[in-house]
Every structure is written in C-alpha cells, then in structure tokens.
Amino acid sequence: MTGQTLIHLQDVSKRFVKGKDTITIFDHLGLSIPAGDFVAVMGPSGSGKTTLLNLLGGIDQPTEGSITFDGGRVDTLTEGQLARWRAHNVGFIFQFYNLMPTLSAARNVELPLLLTSFSRAERKRRVEAALSLVGLAERADHYPREMSGGQQQRVAIARALISDPKLLLCDEPTGDLDRTTADEILAMLRLLNQEMGKTIVMVTHDPEAAKYARRTLHLDKGRFTERELVA
C-alpha cells in the first residue's frame, strides 16, 4: 500500500571532480518515491546506484537540483542538520553489515538510540523488541564474530529499525549471503514494508532479490532506462 510522495528528486545532477576531469553521475535526474513503496534499483557497476542511495540518505549532496523528504528540503541542510535528519528518518543496511566488532548484538542495535533522550530502561525495552522482531532475542549478548552472516545482517536490520525511521536504504543487503539466507532477509524486508509500512529503497545486482520489491528501477549511465512494477 503506497501513499503520498515521501522522497522527491527534482532535476538532480551530481558531478565529481577527479583530477582535471569532471565525472557526471546524474544529469537532471527526477524521481518520486511514495511512502510505503519498496523499490529495487538495479543496474551495471558505475551506473550510479550507490550514489543515488547516498543522495537519498543524506550522506551526499547533489551538485544541482533539489531533494525533498516528507515535504521538506534535504539538500539545503548543513552537515549537522543532516546528521540529525538521518538519525530520525533513515535506517541504513549495508552489504557487509558494518556492525561494531567491539559491541554485542544488543549494544549494536542500541547505538542509534544514544542519539535520543530515551531512558536506559526504554532503550533496553526497544532493543529487546527489535531483536525479537528479527528473531535474535537469544543472541543479544553475542558479538558479531560469533554470528553468521545472516544473523549479522538481521542485527543490522534491527539497528536500522530501532529509531523507527520512515525510510530504509539497503545497499546490496544480500550480496554477501547464500540464497536461502538471502531469501530470509528479503522476506523480512518485505514484511517490514507490508506490515510496518516502511519505505524501502534497495540497491541490488540480484534479479531474484528485486522480485521482493514492489517495483524495480533500472539505472544505466545515470538515467533510468526502465521502470517495472513487480508486486
């Protein structure tokens, strides 16, 4: 079930200067993602998938154009404002999980809550709930090195969900996992989209993974070449 526009990119251009050359990733790109959507972004290497994800997540800024989130401009925010915005609105899931190796699963999940004013008891309650949601309540005290790739990714999903963001950005979330585990993770993402209404943008190379999304966008040389509805 999708609703009104959550993210809107208008005439977004992104250029990098590398030595004497200027590399154009996007040139006047437009995109609208409704709230509650689950979008898979596919495309060859260097097509701009990850840059798109960076722009959507506010960890990179467009050279030109505007990005609005829930009606508010994101591209004009300062670095500090962007950090606060990310903490409240975006959950990130990476290909290689990027958990803190020195922290237990529970502590990893709790990390984003350090940016809130929740009490210790409330944080503990939320962490337990998030770990239960991903089926890892009994592994709360385990460290990343003591868990499988699939379990680590589920901890990463719990961490992404803990601050109840509207948007989940997934960068090849199953790229490091076997098929069975990948399907479990993807099913979980679909559940989060369908049951909790999370808007998800997932970059993937895997056509099987893309099938879990509501629609797939194909990106090539900084342009959408094809838009297809899956679900």
Interface residues with other proteins (CB under 8 A) are 16, 50-51, 53-54, 57, 59-60, 79-80, 83-88, 92, 94, 98, 100-103, 107, 110-112, 114-115, 123, 159, 171
Pair of tokens at residue 108: 């990893």
Query: HSE of 123 in the Cβ direction (CA atoms, 13 Å)?
Result: 16
Measured from the CB of residue 22, what is the shortest distance to other proteins in angstroms? 14
User: How far apart, in whole angstroms, are the C-alpha atoms of residue 106 and residue 91?
Assistant: 17
110 to 113, 115, 171, 192: CA distances (angstroms)? 5, 10, 21, 19
Report the residue number, 43 or 112, with the smaller CB distance to other proteins.
112
Measured from the CB of residue 182, what is the shortest distance to other proteins in angstroms? 21
Measured from the CB of residue 203, what is the shortest distance to other proteins in angstroms? 10
Report the residue number, 83 or 137, with the smaller CB distance to other proteins.
83
Q: Are the beta carbons of 126 and 159 closer than 8 angstroms? A: no
Measured from the CB of residue 85, what is the shortest distance to other proteins in angstroms? 8
Pair of tokens at residue 214: 């509501």
Report the residue number, 107 or 223, with the smaller CB distance to other proteins.
107
Report the residue number, 80 or 195, with the smaller CB distance to other proteins.
80
Token pair 């989209």 in the structure block, residue:
193
